[in-house]
Structure 1
Amino acid sequence: MELFTRTAAALAMMIGAAQAAPTHLTVGMQLEPPNLDPTAGAAAAIDEVTYANIFEGLTRIGPDGSVRPALARSWEVSEDGLTYVFHLVEGARFHDGAAFDASDVKFSFERAMAEGSTNAQKGLFEPIEKIEVLDPATVRITLKRPTGQFLFNMGWGDAVIVDPASAEGNATHPIGTGPFRFRNWVKGDSVTIERNPDYWGTPARLESATFKFIADPTAALAALMAGDVDAFPGYPSPETVPQLQADPRFEVVMGSTEGETILSTNNARPPFDDLRVRRAIAHAIDRQAIIDGAMFGVGTPIGSHFAPHNPAYVDLTALYPHDPDKARALLAEAGHPNGFKATLKLPPPSYARRGGELVAAQLREVGIDLTIENVEWAQWLEQVFRGKDYDLTIVSHTEPMDIGIYARPDYYFQYDNPAFRKLMQDLNAAVDPARRAAILGAAQAVIAEDAVNGFLFQLGKIGVWNAKVKGLWHDAPTQANDLTAVYWED
């Protein structure tokens, strides 16, 4: 009888273990990050792996787009909007055991602001006048001028806090303060992270997670169907969504992103330095045809660099309606009655490759003959983003609330408009929501009138995951696959 009891107990334990919820998650991503340091790279894929998982900032952006405490547990802002005092969490440590304190904040921001900084969003830190360590748990930041978005900006991946001793190695072995720590990176395949047992805050419920890089949309579907990946938060195959929606194994969520998908234009390179040529391109583009043909209807037409779900959005899609005859007339007026030849460099995402074919066909109708050059992500970053060696390209800008990039003449668009820069200065100084909305509306109109880029559509977010996986973001208010609250349902 005793033997039977022990056997039954052991069998019950085995059955219970078999039914226990998994503790590992495999996440599909279309692009592999070029490195793993969000403070030294522009690729969204870096944040998609590391944001909130490995690295943390003073603040963080939540799934609803709100600003939340992170390494700063609270803060006070002076009445004139120039001084921020951050009260930091105590007891936090970096994954290598180094203690976190106010000196790390000072180091991280001064490093980002330095003349030789490789931070892709160095402009986030430009308003900072000085950073003072008041004590190990308190830091005071004084701004040159009021900056209404400062707390939000400090929640970007580019503003995470790093340790002086490990900062230089973060590209290949990231060391942050987050609830997960880096385990390994198999180049060309995957990155694996594991739960940080010494995390200062609420522990992650997952023990580990693997980010699996699958560039091909057909392979993405196959991986989901075979169970090789548990979730694909940015699913790249919209044409197969009905198939997945009909499968009870999966949850399919149609959400929104901050991704303005644009036909980026080199405004400093002839003939694109001519406003008439850029306006001709705007009239040649049929946005809805691109959305239907490349994205199978998933996407919202935009007429400027601004997200339609934002309360300050102004619909400017009617400014340059699809009108090939008007496009040809503008080209002739600009001295190109027979059109011209140019190149279109396309990075790997399906929205770019598929959309690029349609854009090339539409521009060909008005006499602009584009040679398509498919480039890998690292090439795009080197040639287009850093080198500014391009005519046209297609990319989705997934950074949140990033219309301010048009105020940077050295940005890869090479757009230089003092009036727009003045609007951004006014925006930074404005606190009243109505005033900010009015300025944002004017800013959208300026870059739309100048046809700085071909504004195509707001990238939709198709999330597909195992129906038992809970806690993944439905929308993407910033570029992240935040796993901090993710778990498997029993």
Structure 2
Amino acid sequence: MRASSPRVRATLAAVAVAAAAGLAGCGWGEEEPAVPNAPQAQRGGTLTVLGVDAPTGVDPHRVAGPAAAMLHAIAHRTPYTHRPGDDEAVADLAEGAPEVSEDGRTVTVGLRAGARFGPDGETITADDVEHGLERALADPVAGPPARRLLGDLVGLPPQVGDWRDVQGIEALDARTLELRLERPSASLAIAALATPAATPLPADEPRVPGPLPPDAVAYAGPYLPRDRLPADERGEEPLGRAEAGAGQRLVPAVPAGALTLVRNPEWEAAATPTPAYVERVVVGRGEGGGAATSVLDGSRALWAGENVPADVLRRAERRPTPQLVQVGVPVTRFVALNAARAPFDDRLVRRAAVAALDRVALWEAAGGRGEPASHWLPPGVPGHDRSGGSEGLGVAHLPPAADPGLAAELLRRAGFAEGRYEGPPIRALAADLEPERAVAREVVRQLEGAGFEVDLELTAPRDVEARCQAPDTDISLCPGAALASPEGEPGAILRAGFGGAPQGAAAEPWSHLDAPLVDLAIAEALAARESRRPRAWADVNRAVAQEAAGAPWRWDERPLLRARDVRGVVDERRGTWALGWIWLGSDAEQDRVR
């Protein structure tokens, strides 16, 4: 169950009420009234975060996965950001709302005065934001997600790897940035300004491909790596052993190779939406299940790993004080059907294949984590509720469970008199690891029931996306396809997945769909007023479902753990902890609000 669902809201009350008093309301920084009787946030202390690999530095643009996003959010700043629980962005490095031209093709952003990089104190300018955007769009890791939102920039190089000036990104002066677009997709460009792609990078940083050296990273957020400060300003070294915490519990030992983040001397608390309560954050993996146990039974610690060991999970579920949160991740997993290749170039055959698939069975084959998907937009993404929420769109060939009778009828309408597919084998490609392997084999089993003969190839995970999305690919079926939505933006799923958004010369959308009605619906959604955007993207969602470009089967979620004395706050947009909003309290205070 997701953190945003009604049954979990009560559980989250104890771990999120402390943040509610400071959440932004509507628009670009407007404050909401304080929550009555909310406990007073406490500043100071060291927070230990286990279950994640500790990087040597926090790259400003190479953010792959929730753990990297969690660290980026406290080490860097972007023109706009989201407070936990807010649907709308608030200004961070920007001084206010962006200006959009009448034709929706130009976005202009003014930056705050006085923001500085740490540790050296250089002023952040529009040139730095421009340089950062250009690096992100060219980088092989940061480029693909950045291009889902910024693919319409004027003069964007056709593929990643070419780091150069982009004509559509221009610093008009030291504090004004302008984005110029080929099409009226200003809403996507504005969404990009709240993602890591818009992290400023000092304009004098050489254009060298690959990751930045740790000592070359400039930090504008509230924290930076301890070793970036002069030796006499670093404070005490974190203990390499467990130490006494609240009551009789221990703070977990600092793992070998941990990253310690300390206060950035150039960060101005009054000029940013992030409160940054704790003094230091120590990040490391820890030793297996023992690390998760040390969080559950310990003090001043969080677990942010991909999985919680089953025995620890069961113990956490029985605790009277909520220490376990299932947080949704804005990712939709689906079976992609190649609409440019036989037999799925026939919409009736695609609809038959979708009707033949039992999406709950696929979800169970993957371990039953997350939530069975009923359409393309995950919970929390604009348009999800307008698409029927978990109940779905009500499209006949996208039923809650497999409908063999409907699949047979659709195949008969496609010219297969016996109601079963008859033709050459179709090629399928999946990653050779679990649970992808199990899901792929279940897809093959179900489609064989409708007459499809499937030749399944298992390969290295890194090869699946490249081969499935390659132009003129000979792969017709990709059971492990996935689309993510940076910052909860529906266009990052629907336009990038089905509308032909630029992703580089060597890639096309998973389903290779060419559908004029879908493209028209996307154009209308991009031009829609803010109040109408959820309905407009729900219309796109329905148009994609009618084309049967695939079968969505899971919306992702992941478990997080906290020690009892940590006021945990969830960042649902990134699917992890909001470290900048977490503070350390006493057990008595924690129990009082549970």
- Could you say whether these structures have the same fold, taking a TM-score greater than 0.5 normalized by the shorter chain as the test? yes
Label 1:182 to 1:85 Cα distance change in 2 as closer, same or farther (>3 A): same
1:67 Cα offset (Å): 0.5
C-alpha distance in 2, partners of 1:200/1:122? Answer: 30
C-alpha distance in 1, partners of 2:438/2:564? Answer: 29
8 Å Cα contact 2:370-2:555 kept in structure 1: no
Q: Which one-letter code corresponds to 1:343 in the other structure? A: A
Deviation sequence 1:164-208 (CA, Å, 0-9, x none): 416645456354422333579xxxx98735124324233562513
SS of the equivalent of 2:264 reads coil
8 Å Cα contact 1:112-1:119 kept in structure 2: yes
Partner of 2:393: 316
C-alpha distance in 2, partners of 1:383/1:94? Answer: 41
Give the alignment of 1:258-337 within 5 angstroms.
Answer: 258-296=330-368, 298-307=370-379, 310-314=384-388, 315-316=392-393, 318-320=395-397, 321=399, 322-327=402-407, 330=410, 333=414, 336-337=421-422
Which runs of no fewer than 5 residues in structure 2 stay unpaired? 1-42, 155-167, 228-255, 270-275, 502-506, 587-594
Label 1:24 to 1:464 Cα distance change in 2 as closer, same or farther (>3 A): closer
8 Å Cα contact 1:276-1:331 kept in structure 2: yes
Q: Quote the sequence identity (%).
A: 17
Q: Which has the larger strand fraction?
A: 1
Partner of 1:345: 430
SS of the equivalent of 2:580 reads coil
Q: Which one-letter code corresponds to 1:464 in the other structure? A: L
1:477 Cα offset (Å): 1.9
Q: Does residue 156 in structure 1 map to residue 160 in structure 2?
A: no
8 Å Cα contact 1:113-1:126 kept in structure 2: no
For residue 460 of structure 2, the aligned residue among 375, 382, 394 is 375
Q: Does residue 231 in structure 1 map to residue 302 in structure 2?
A: yes
Give the alignment of 1:206-245 within 5 angstroms.
Answer: 206-212=279-285, 221=289, 223-227=291-295, 230-233=301-304, 235-236=306-307, 241-245=313-317
Q: How many residues are matched?
A: 455
Deviation sequence 1:311-359 (CA, Å, 0-9, x none): 4334225432211344356567477427735334137675x45544543
Deviation sequence 1:114-154 (CA, Å, 0-9, x none): 79997113242245564443442333445553623443331
1:23 Cα offset (Å): 1.1
1:104 Cα offset (Å): 0.8
SS of the equivalent of 2:51 reads strand
C-alpha distance in 2, partners of 1:180/1:422? Answer: 44
Q: Which one-letter code corresponds to 2:460 in the other structure? A: V
8 Å Cα contact 1:307-1:313 kept in structure 2: no
Partner of 2:554: 457
C-alpha distance in 1, partners of 2:429/2:547? Answer: 20
1:59 Cα offset (Å): 0.8
Length-normalised TM-score, structure 1: 0.76
1:483 Cα offset (Å): 2.0
Partner of 1:72: 94
C-alpha distance in 1, partners of 2:70/2:358? Answer: 34
Partner of 2:78: 57
Deviation sequence 1:245-268 (CA, Å, 0-9, x none): 114686112333322122234443
For residue 478 of structure 2, the aligned residue among 377, 387, 392 is 392
Q: Which one-letter code corresponds to 1:210 in the other structure? A: V
8 Å Cα contact 1:161-1:176 kept in structure 2: no
Give the alignment of 1:415-454 within 5 angstroms.
Answer: 415-434=513-532, 436-454=533-551
Length-normalised TM-score, structure 2: 0.64
C-alpha distance in 2, partners of 1:472/1:147? Answer: 31
CA RMSD after TM alignment? 4.1
For residue 469 of structure 1, the aligned residue among 545, 558, 566 is 566
SS of the equivalent of 2:327 reads strand
Which runs of no fewer than 5 residues in structure 1 stay unpaired? 1-19
Label 1:92 to 1:236 Cα distance change in 2 as closer, same or farther (>3 A): same
C-alpha distance in 1, partners of 2:395/2:54? Answer: 37
Partner of 1:181: 224
Label 1:93 to 1:395 Cα distance change in 2 as closer, same or farther (>3 A): same
C-alpha distance in 2, partners of 1:363/1:94? Answer: 56
8 Å Cα contact 1:55-1:160 kept in structure 2: yes
